[in-house]
Amino acid sequence: MSTITSPSTPTAPVTTPTSSNPVSNQQALTPERINTLLKAGPNWSSSPKAPDRSPHPPLSPTTKSNTSPSMSEVETKNKLDDLNTALTPDTIKEIQRNPSSPKSRAITEQFNTTLTPENVKLMSRGANAKKNRETLREIRDKLDKKNIDSNLESAKHQVINEAADKMRLKLLEIITAAFDGDIWNTVDHHKNWLEELGALSKNFSAMETKSKALTDAASSLSDEKLDQSAAPETQDSSPADTRAATYSFNATSESTLEAPSEVRNFKSGDKLDLSGIQRQLNTSLRPVDRFPEVIGEMQIHHSPSANTSVIVIADAPGKAPFLLKVFGEVRQSNIVT
Please tell me whether residues 176 and 246 are part of one structural domain: no
Which residue has better confidence, 131 or 240? 131
Instruction: Map 89-152 to HEC letters.
Output: HHHHHHHHHCCCCHHHHHHHHHHHHHCCHHHHHHHCCCCCHHHHHHHHHHHHHHCCHHHHHHHH
Domain carrying residue 94: 71-230
How many CB atoms sit inside 10 A of residue 153's CB?
Answer: 11
Q: Residue 252 gets which letter from DSSP?
A: G
pLDDT score, position 134:
93
Please tell me whether residues 222 and 268 are part of one structural domain: no
pTM for this one? 0.43
pLDDT score, position 170:
66
CATH code at position 314: 2.150.10.10
pLDDT score, position 58:
45
pLDDT score, position 287:
95
Going edge to edge, which strands form the sheet with 246-248? Answer: 246-248, 271-273, 335-336
Q: Is residue 15 part of a domain?
A: no
| C-beta separation of 37 from 310 below 8 A | yes
Which of 197, 230, 263 lies at the terminal end of a domain, its last residue? Answer: 230
Which of 230, 256, 279 lies at the terminal end of a domain, its last residue? Answer: 230
Please tell me whether residues 187 and 83 are part of one structural domain: yes
Q: pLDDT (tens digit, 9 = 90+) per residue, 139-186? A: 999 998 888 898 888 878 877 777 776 666 666 666 666 666 555 555
Q: Is residue 6 part of a domain?
A: no
